[in-house]
Structure 1
Amino acid sequence: MLTTIKPRRRTVMLYLSVPVALFVFTVFVPLVTALVYSFFEWKGGPSKQFTGLANYQQLFRDGVFWQAFGHNIYLVVACIIGQIGIAFIMVMFVNSRMARLKGIHRTFGFFPSTISAVCIGLIWSMVYHYKFGLINWFLRIIGRPDLQQVWLNDSKHVMLYVTIPLIWQYIGYYMVIILSAIASINTDVLESAEIDGANGFQKSVYIVLPLIRNTMLVCITLCIAGNMKAFDNIYVMTSGGPGTSSMVMAMWGYKVSFQQSNMGYGSCISVAIFVLSLLVIGGSQWAIKRATRNMGD
């Protein structure tokens, strides 16, 4: 007869105290501190002047911040389609009977997500380089030097160019999550669908997706949270330029806080990033759950 070992409540609380303390110290305390500082005019020195809601009034009139917010939304939409969409397609291919060397596909697919974001930014900066970059080199090889350009100086399309490395880096990350979800599906369900004549597309859309709906919702939430605070790759590649064409919220908050030495307004931007991220995540979850509920009806 098996007996369940149930630790005392005091023991459980003792084990949880360290991670909870770390969470409070690294997440909750900085957030509360930023909220407090957002009501002050503070240049980073010992003196602070209380200004009430002046920083928030300035935020609503700050065109650069709202342009950066639009860029973050662009990243969210592009990465949900690019990262999660491509990851799902690749997972279905890896799990198909046509695929060979499945372990290698999984390993190399996940590899880019293990590289530092700064290194990814440097690698793709070299890819986009005008003289030595891979893209312009390929255009010269195929006899189309007229198509060469300074890619990251194109203010009209620079957001697309900085989004491509983000998509490339995290496809493997979402592949691993989706693979683990699909592994939990009973193979009898998929075999029954094949017997009924369902093709690969039909199995993917009408069987696999509904069964891993909760996992896909987690992937979308992670994708939104990650891209609402995007910073590293874009800072290395463009620093928000040309002008503010690739500026994102976190980078604008960094520049205001540390380059303009306006810590009070920078804290206000940090609070706004947190609130807007919660609103976007909550809104997306509500919309997805409502859409799936309507599909079920």
Structure 2
Amino acid sequence: MLNAIKPSKKTVILYLLVPVVLFIFTVFVPLVTALVYSFFEWKGGPKKTFIGIANYKQLFQDGVFWQAFGHNIYLVIACIIGQIGIAFVLVLMINSKLVKCKGVHRTFGFFPSTISAVCIGLIWNMIYHNKYGILNWFLKAIGRPDLCQVWLNNSKLVMLLVTIPLIWQYIGYYMVILQSAIASIGTDVLESAEIDGANGVQKALYITLPLIKNTVLVCITLCIAGNMKAFDNIFVMTKGGPGTSSMVMAMYGYQISFNQSNMGYGSCISVGIFVLSLLVIGGSQALIKYITREKEA
């Protein structure tokens, strides 16, 4: 058997060079460019006019942007509960002794995560369709045609309706992450809890959840980051309507930048999304750590 050869530092740096360069040009450079353009009045052509922090003053006073930010927070809260919460419950059910063909359940659970967000939006658009949608068909089938409506035109329900596909799509994604974390828990720990008389709910809340809290924190961070930049599904389903009742920050930035050709203010919105996302992620992590510390004390 050949002895493993430890690569030199130069070899490691060489292998890391390509992904680091790609990261710089795909993430860091666009971010810096957006920051620079946010200080200009720019319509997309060669002419740019420096206006200082005027775009940021406008952003703080922009009611549509802050309404969109509220919608993103709604998505974050709903998806943390829906995606991670449901995924945790499903993983516990799959790991139970009563469920057979566990691999099949995991595969079908993860399958929606592999579908394009545009396809998901189109599928759920058909479900909500007022004439041909399965939702209105079901209501007619059970004798409640009075409840049928043009669902995505209801400004009071539209945020809930666009959130449901997001939750459904990514439950399987978090199932895989949580499954790998729960699999690392020794069976002797759970068996000891059973001997002591703990039921399934008690084992989940007081043993499993505390032991995978770091993984749950990672899941929450990923969930917040994903939903703070939500765009695809909602764009396909409502384009932010009716009015601005389902507008999210990324879509608002898209409309300002490309529909109104205001690249300077659109860049300012992008910077705002980045800063607010960092604040929400940092605030959520601090809150979770504080709650955990209080319980341990």
User: Is this a same-fold pair by TM over 0.5?
Assistant: yes
Q: 1:97, 1:198 → 2: CA distance? A: 16
Q: 2:201, 2:141 → 1: CA distance? A: 37
Letter paired with 2:119? C
What is the match of residue 143 of structure 1?
Answer: 143
What is the match of residue 264 of structure 2?
Answer: 264
Q: 1:99, 1:167 → 2: CA distance? A: 23
Q: Residues 273-293 of structure 1, C-alpha deviation per residue, up to 9 Å, x if partnerless?
A: 000000000000010011111
Find out whether 1:129 has 2:132 as its counterpart. Answer: no
What is the match of residue 273 of structure 1?
Answer: 273
Q: Residues 9-50 of structure 1, C-alpha deviation per residue, up to 9 Å, x if partnerless?
A: 111111111000000000000000000000000000000000
What TM-score results when the alignment is normalised by the length of structure 2?
A: 0.99
Which segments of 5 or more consecutive residues in structure 1 lack a partner in the other structure?
A: none
The residue correspondences of 1:115-194 to structure 2 (distance < 5 A) are 115-194=115-194
What is the match of residue 18 of structure 2?
Answer: 18
Find out whether 1:292 has 2:292 as its counterpart. Answer: yes
Q: Residues 77-113 of structure 1, C-alpha deviation per residue, up to 9 Å, x if partnerless?
A: 0000000000000000000111122111101000000
What is the match of residue 57 of structure 1?
Answer: 57
What's the % identity of the aligned pairs?
A: 79
Question: How far 1:212 sits from its partner (Å)?
Answer: 0.2
- What secondary structure is seen at the aligned counterpart in 1 of 2:179? helix
Q: 1:81, 1:170 → 2: CA distance? A: 12
What is the match of residue 110 of structure 1?
Answer: 110
Q: 1:254, 1:41 → 2: CA distance? A: 16
What is the match of residue 195 of structure 1?
Answer: 195
Question: How far 1:5 sits from its partner (Å)?
Answer: 2.6
Q: 1:61, 1:75 → 2: CA distance? A: 23
**Deviates most, 92-101 or 125-134:** 92-101
Q: 1:188, 1:243 → 2: CA distance? A: 56
Q: 1:38, 1:48 → 2: CA distance? A: 11
Q: 1:292, 1:107 → 2: CA distance? A: 33
Letter paired with 1:86? I
- What secondary structure is seen at the aligned counterpart in 2 of 1:41? strand
What TM-score results when the alignment is normalised by the length of structure 1?
A: 0.99
Question: How far 1:52 sits from its partner (Å)?
Answer: 0.1
Letter paired with 1:87? A
What is the match of residue 232 of structure 1?
Answer: 232
For the structure 1 residues 2 and 284, does the alpha-carbon distance in structure 2 shift closer, same or farther, using more than 3 Å as the test? farther
- What secondary structure is seen at the aligned counterpart in 2 of 1:49? strand
Q: Which runs of 4+ in 1 moved over 6 A?
A: none
Which segments of 5 or more consecutive residues in structure 2 lack a partner in the other structure?
A: none
Letter paired with 1:232? D
